[in-house]
Amino acid sequence: MELRSYRLFRYTLPLKQPFTTHAGALNEREGIIVELQDNEGCSGFGEGVAFAIPFYTSETVASSWILLQETLLPLLFAKKVNHPTEVPQLFSGIVGNQMAKAAVEGAAWDLYAKQQGKSLVACIGGTRTKAKAGAVISLSDDLEQTIEMIRSQGFERAKLKVTKYNERRAIELVKEIDPELPLMIDGNGMYKKEDISLLAGLDSLNLQMIEQPFIPGDIVLHQRLQQRMNTSICLDETVESFSDAWQALELGACRTINIKIGRVGGLTEAIRIHNLCQQAGLAVWCGGMVETGISKAHNLALASLPGFSIPGDLSGSDRYFDRDLLINPLRVEQGSIRIPDEPGIGVEVDMEYLLYVSSEVSTGK
């Protein structure tokens, strides 16, 4: 594939309302867009989904920005790259920083697919034309209003953010409003060994799953909890690579994995994890990061693979922002989002608005 130059955009978008978890409230989304350009004027886009502070992983927007400028993009342009699957090997000498790596690889995949005149879905062997959508209910959401939105748009499941010792009441409140709504909860790693019995006691509530109850390194605690519960345990932050996923499956620490492109270092690794889970008979789903439509379009391509049978965190462009970075925003219709089949990720970036909301723009080649 041909590369000529790049541009980095450091953007800030205000959220329609705060997105709150036990770790705090997010009032605006700061992030990074990577644009790779070729000599024909074609551009590919990827998104760096680290947050401004390291509450999810150790990466931040600031650390990603520096690494992209000083290390990752110079590595990319120092060697001929024929296919996006070669990008992870270029970055193999850099420890961690999965989200910065994924941003570059994502832009490479988008550009490569456009150069081939194919959709990203076709390039990775996707089979679905629609992705089932799931909604996230944050701690600051109005339950009545949010569940009404979930009903009206046809979301096929809801993920509830909870606080420790208040989870049962929160679940019961949702079930009082809509007893038929498929529901899961997200622990965001806030539980400890002494909370195993507390969590096991939620088995009677018929949850779809419990996501990431313990901190990322505690695979054994996830295994012990899964052994005590009929409810599926889902891993999120624990899985940052194929190796992490393999170990979790070998130990029986979960029954499903939330695959996030940014968290695992890019689309190539995400596909490997999908294939591993499919071989093991585990259904997977695609997680979200309160990101823009650029990242959502990459997620939709990933969710076109056959193993993604569980509705993911695949909301429309209007879920978090009044105005997205796309000319034509992504929409949820009757519980699903159409997976773009146009060249590349299949969406058009609103470059004028991206420049407007960007505090910094960096170029190079």
**pLDDT per residue as tens digits for the range 32-59:** 999 999 999 999 999 999 999 998 889 9
What is the model's pLDDT at position 140? 85
DSSP bridge pairs for 132: 336
| Catalytic-labelled residue, pool 79, 260, 296, 365 | 260
N-terminal to C-terminal alpha carbon distance within the chain: 15
pLDDT at 24 over 80: no
Cα–Cα distance measured from residue 60 to residue 68, given in angstroms and rounded to the nearest whole number:
12
| Catalytic-labelled residue, pool 118, 161, 175, 193 | 161
pLDDT at 217 over 90: no
**pLDDT per residue as tens digits for the range 116-130:** 999 999 999 999 999
Catalytic annotation on 260? yes
Domains and CATH numbers, the chain: 5-117+351-364 (3.30.390.10), 123-338 (3.20.20.120)
pLDDT at 280 over 90: yes
Question: Is 259 within 8 Å of 287 (Cβ atoms)?
Answer: yes
Residue 248 has φ and ψ, to the nearest 5°, of -60, -40
Question: Is 243 within 8 Å of 266 (Cβ atoms)?
Answer: no
Burial 311-326 (b: 16+ CB within 10 A, else e): bbbbbbbbbbbeebbb
Kindly list the distances between the CA atom of residue 288 and the CA atoms of 135, 236, 241, 298, in Å, as whole numbers in the listed order: 10, 11, 17, 11
Catalytic annotation on 192? no
Q: Where do we find the tokens 């205000």? A: 14
**pLDDT per residue as tens digits for the range 184-215:** 999 999 999 999 999 999 999 999 999 999 99
What is the model's pLDDT at position 192? 96
What is the model's pLDDT at position 215? 94
